[in-house]
Structure 1
Amino acid sequence: MPRAKILRGRKNFQRLFEQDAKIIRNNIVDLRFKILGTNSSGCLMGFIVKKSLGKANKRNRMKRLLKEAYRHHQDILSDTVKNTGIMFHGALMAKTIDGNYADVEQDIIALLSKVRDQLSTISPGHS
C-alpha cells in the first residue's frame, strides 16, 4: 500500500475524533470517517489498534491484516470518492486482536460498502 494513500499526521487523526465525525460499527472493526470540504479529491485511510488490546506483536499483526484487507478492497470506496470529487479521511479501528484474515476482510467489505452507499447520495462536485 503506497504511503500516499495512508492517513498521516496528528491533525488529521484529531479531526476523526471530533464530534461531527461519523462512525460505522461492525463486529471486529469500526470505521470512523470525515468528509472534508477541500478542493482536492481523494481517499486516505488510517489503521488503529489500541495499546490496551494486547502486546505489540499481536497489535502489529492485526494492523497488517487491516491494511491488507483494505488494500484488496479499496476500490469499493475509492471509485465513489473519485466520482463525487470529495476528500475522504477514514480510520479502520480494530476492536480485538484475535480475528483472522477472513473475518477482518468480511467486516471491511461490509464497512466500505456502507460508506459507499452513504456517499453515493452526495451529488458529484459537492464540497
Structure 2
Amino acid sequence: MILEDLKGLRSAPDLTAQQKQQLAEDLKQRIAACDWFTVGVMAPGADQALASLRAMEASLGWQAMQLLDQHQLPDGAVFLKANQRTGTVTLRHEAGLGEGLLISGQCPSNPAAEDTWGPLPLDFFI
C-alpha cells in the first residue's frame, strides 16, 4: 500500500504492521520536503481526536499546537483542524464524517511537494 491508495477514502482503512511501516517511510520523505503543515482529524470524540494529534506531534518532533477554547469541547463526533503555521487547533462537532487523520504539507517555494496524505488510522502514530 502507498499513500496514493488512501486518497478518496472516507475513513482510514485497517492496516497491517507492514503497511503502517511502508506508509510511515513514504510519509517521512514527503514531510521532509515541506515547510509546514495543516492537520485534520475526523474522530468519534474530542479526546480521541486530541490524542491522535498529540501522538502525531510527538512522533514527528513537532511543537504542540494550542487548542483554542479548550473549556468548551464538543460532544460526539468531531472534526479537529490544526495549523502548524499559526500554532492553533480548533475542534467542532461534525456528524457524518468518516474517521481518520489527514496531513497537508505546505511548501510555497516548491508547490510540487504540497499534497494531502490520508486518511491514516487515528492510532497511526501511537
With normalisation by structure 1, the TM-score equals 0.27
Higher relative strand content: 2
Higher relative helix content: 1
With normalisation by structure 2, the TM-score equals 0.27
